[in-house]
Structure 1
Amino acid sequence: MPHPTRRIAHLDMDAFFASVELLRYPDLKGRPVVVGGRSSSLQPQTGPDGQRQYARMRDYAGRGVITTATYEARALGVHSGMGLMKAAKLAPDAVLLPADFNAYRHYSQLFKEAVLAIAPQMEDRGIDEIYLDLTEHPEDSASLAQRLKTAVFEATGLTCSICIAPNKLLAKIGSDLDKPDGLTLLLQPGDVERRIWPLPAKKINGIGPKAAEKLTALNIATIADLARADAGLLQQHFGRSYAAWLARVAQGQDERVVETSSEPKSLSRETTFERDLHARHDRDTLSQIFTGLCERVAEDLRRKGYVGRTIGIKLRYEDFRTVTRDLSLPDATDDAVTIRRAAGECLRRVPLQLRLRLLGVRVGSLVRRGEADGAPSPLPRQGELPL
């Protein structure tokens, strides 16, 4: 069973992007709201009567995907990553809002600063979730969890869900058990069997769709089924290493530590087009999008304090084939013009006869600004998109 002394928390903001939007548009509280796409046409308008008018899902046409949705919208069957056109059939009257990542980053910083003031041993897992090591904190778990939730709400006006457990695996699963605004403790003997084992096996982070299908075919549906599964059967179908991992996590075992400092290997930006674009017929549109991606990656680098030497691109064709290319610069950079030129060189190395559905730009081999060898190269003049 799990280590009895550690206290690890997973804190997850509730429907984060949608909740930030509801701060701006409180009249939408309690209604199904979907956030997705970045088109200016989705911005709320003020009608002749002075009332806000919102775009509706039934009027959407394009290939965008859902970034997030309120719990009222989720109850209608829509979820993050679902295509907006498909979601429109399930929730045609839901309000559709464009994503505003600058606002989400702002509120992300606010909630993390509030948490750090109470529990400094934090692992940042993304814009809306964190792990905390509370093992040495003197406060009892229930009151500490509530104090963290209160601090987040006072700093942002938003709710979060938190679970404290003996390890990261259980804390991650547990933070989803009592959403929204949940407070879950999995610290007592029997908690794993009572609250975790009845869940589907795919709830374990690390069991993907293919592994879940295999388990289902073996009549292993729940985590309890997995915990009781024959070790030889698991090894036969999943191999020795993965089978051993499955056996451990089904028992709630996880020795990973909270990583309070971690360095990203790369930063990237990509976009899926509303319609397939052709390198020749849509040259100007593609050039504008391409430059915008380079500028946003450069902005991310500067904001996070990194420079990178490896510049890469990602293309997905209309037939869903994906290709990548990259090149290494002599000096690390966070300059948009330099990134744009290097990414353009990568584009010259891929066939562009087919229409494109996705374009992405990546900067890798990151180091902290000031730690790179030598100063950045003189800035080249921005060239035209080589399409």
Structure 2
Amino acid sequence: MDAFFASVELLRYPQLKDLPVVIGGSRFTPQQEAALVQRWGSLADRPLAAFERLGGYVGRGVITTATYAARQFGVGSAMGLMKAARLCPQAILLPIDFARYRAYSQRFKEAILALAPVMEDRGVDEVYIDFTHAPGGQEAGGLALAQRLQAAILAATGLTCSIGVAPNKLLAKMASEFNKPRGIAIVWPHDLEAKIWPLPCRKINGIGPKANARLETLGITTIGQLAAYPAHKLVQHFGKATGAWLHRAAQGLDDRPVETHSEPVSMSRETTFDRDLHAVQDKAELGATFTWLCERVADDLQHAGYSGRTVGIKLRFSDFRSVTREMTVDYLLQDAATIRRLAGLCLRRAPLAQRIRLLGVRVGSLEEGAPPPEAAGADQPVAALRGVTPDLFGGL
């Protein structure tokens, strides 16, 4: 999907079309929406002067996404909002509304499945689609079906997308970025030298910053250079599995099927605070956030139909050092109260001398289905745990 979160927001605020807009920082709540509607009559009538500007932001939040107009200033996803404010202070800053994004995600995927039922869900804004046996999937090299998919998604959501069509997932992923926004790119095997090899190695999905830096030390900066590098030397530098994969990827080879169903390993939620928080001095704020994260993870589990046996926490401190703690129980759980209680026990085993930059909660060892009614904690409301949870963020 093209700048998905930002595009969804532009449906709500059409007056922001073609303006630099950044999504990030705080979360948009139903109460905020009700207040805005009461004041302006409709969200579409909210004047530009009433929107928060990025230049006035102070805090430690990060950008979730940005419109293409904002990206022209060098602003992009995962960038700190303070840094983005220096690059594009005139950009409009909107809070995140995950519930709305998930609803639109479901709608665009339903539109795809109506035309091409073999689809792999890759998150809120991306999918892989197998064109092989889909009606019209081989017509004009996939162009005809890609155009129908774009039209169906636009009709169902009012949103645009970009599609890459190729013999495998590796090349299709790369091709989907070629002509954004509203683009369709088709890559054939004979296009490898002209369209793929000139690209930087980072364009291969799976080559991260560390691997890219190691490749650069070998004088490898483009996919073509990687393709020409001897396979046995890649194995020497990166190990047997990774070296072999790098060689195959540079040749445009990928035999992974489109998976229509995959089991999640875990579900987690985390948040980065606008300022570093102290475990004692900011106990109330940390405790409220801790409970909120547990509630969100519980909601995710129940919505997806999973239960887990392992609860863990993640802390990142002011010096960017991270620690994790977890515990596994002999019963299934998916309710916020039990997650909160066990996460609190994990917290007691974590060092809390430094100020906290990030806090996260995770549930793993997942199984499909809800836990039996007799599972521990299943009948306890979250409110019953506030103030009595055995952790250092208690006293809510």
Give the alignment partner of residue 106 of structure 1, picking from 79, 91, 103: 103
Match of 1:174 in 2: 175
Secondary structure at 1:120 match in 2 = coil
Letter in 2 for 1:66: I
Quote the Cα distance in structure 2 between the aligned partners of 1:179 and 1:22: 17
Check conservation: 2:28, 2:96, Cα contact below 8 A. Answer: no
Identity %: 58
Match of 1:37 in 2: 25
Quote the Cα distance in structure 2 between the aligned partners of 1:71 and 1:208: 24
Match of 1:142 in 2: 143
Match of 1:21 in 2: 9
Give the alignment partner of residue 116 of structure 2, picking from 114, 119, 130: 119
Quote the Cα distance in structure 1 between the aligned partners of 2:274 and 2:75: 20
Q: CA RMSD in A?
A: 2.0
Matched, 1:377 2:394: no
Instruction: Give the alignment of 1:239-318 within 5 angstroms.
Output: 239-318=239-318
Check conservation: 1:123, 1:260, Cα contact below 8 A. Answer: yes
1:75-104 deviation line (CA, Å, top 9, x unaligned): 110110000001111111111101100000
Check conservation: 2:115, 2:134, Cα contact below 8 A. Answer: no
Letter in 2 for 1:382: L
Worse overlay, 236-245 or 137-146: 236-245
Give the alignment partner of residue 80 of structure 1, picking from 74, 77, 81: 77
Match of 1:160 in 2: 161
Ranges in structure 2 where 5+ consecutive residues have no aligned partner: none
Cα deviation, residue 50, structure 1: 6.4
Match of 2:354 in 1: 354
Cα deviation, residue 22, structure 1: 0.4
Cα deviation, residue 286, structure 1: 0.9
Match of 2:322 in 1: 322
Letter in 1 for 2:191: D
Quote the Cα distance in structure 2 between the aligned partners of 1:232 and 1:109: 45
Match of 1:62 in 2: 59
Check conservation: 1:38, 1:100, Cα contact below 8 A. Answer: no
Match of 1:365 in 2: 365
Match of 1:7 in 2: none
**How high is the TM-score relative to the length of structure 2?**
0.89
Check conservation: 2:117, 2:134, Cα contact below 8 A. Answer: no
Quote the Cα distance in structure 2 between the aligned partners of 1:383 and 1:29: 44
Cα deviation, residue 280, structure 1: 0.9
Match of 1:128 in 2: 125
* Higher RCO (CA < 8 A, seq sep 6+): 1
Letter in 2 for 1:143: A
Match of 2:342 in 1: 342
Quote the Cα distance in structure 2 between the aligned partners of 1:50 and 1:219: 53
Cα deviation, residue 330, structure 1: 2.8
Letter in 1 for 2:126: E
Check conservation: 1:309, 1:363, Cα contact below 8 A. Answer: yes
Check conservation: 1:35, 1:69, Cα contact below 8 A. Answer: yes
Matched, 1:51 2:47: yes
Check conservation: 1:331, 1:375, Cα contact below 8 A. Answer: no
Count of aligned residue pairs for this structure pair: 372
Quote the Cα distance in structure 2 between the aligned partners of 1:287 and 1:300: 20
Letter in 1 for 2:15: D
